A and B are shown apart, each in its own frame.
Chain A
Amino acid sequence: MKYKVKAGDDFDVTSANVVQFRRTKLFNQTLAKHKEVAGKVEEFIKFKTDNPLGRFGKTDQHFVSGGVLASTGMIHTHLTGDISLLYKRSGKNPTIIDLVAVLTHDELGTGQPPNMKQQKKMAKVLVDAE
């Protein structure tokens, strides 16, 4: 069966596709820290359940195609102007969506001005999450 996905999406899908989610400890920890986006995370999960290939807003996008980030399915989407969700997507039926982390620009070390100390700290947090 072929059908058009909801407004805001830019893909046609050709068959039903089971969607499953996984999460990291880091996702739990960072979501607990940013409870203000809990509602947006819930919206994201509901949206992706129905439209795993659809875009959750205009900022929901892979990293530049051709690189390793894109090949692993690494995607970033803004939940607010400052807070982003990093996730990965792989496979089809089931499509697995891996929720990696909920981070502010400052926590990612990409705020203005760039904070090198914070970048190193976040890298260590991610290592410890393994």
Chain B
Amino acid sequence: MTKLITEVSALMEDIEKNSEGFDKKVLFEAVQATDFTDPVDGETLLEQLRKEGLL
């Protein structure tokens, strides 16, 4: 547990050091994001976004 806390602390410190003004918590969560869709090419993605009304 101590090792894990040390690693997370070091990670947050690293992110804060390099955050360039963005919020470190937001960046930490962005780095951890895993709910990605299946990969598609750009043309297919644009079609999908249009169908979903996002473009």
Contact = CB atoms under 8 A, between A and B. Distances in A.
| A and B part of one assembly | yes
Interface of A: 18-26, 28, 31-32, 35, 38-39, 41-42, 45-46, 48-49, 63-64, 66-70, 72, 74, 76, 86, 94, 96, 98, 100-101, 103, 108-110, 119-120, 122-123, 126-127, 129-130
Contact of A32 (B14, B36, B54): B54
A20 B40 contact: yes
A126 B29 contact: yes
B6 interface: no
B54 A74 contact: no
Contacts of B26: 103, 108-109, 119, 122-123, 126
B13 to A, nearest CB: 10
A35 to B, nearest CB: 8
Contacts of B32: 130
A38 B18 contact: no
A68 B23 CA distance: 15
A96 B39 contact: yes
Contact of A108 (B11, B22, B34): B22
B36 A23 contact: yes
B42 A45 contact: yes
A49 B31 contact: no
Contact of A126 (B22, B33, B49, B53): B33
B25 A67 contact: no
B4 to A, nearest CB: 16
Contact of A86 (B30, B37, B41, B49): B30
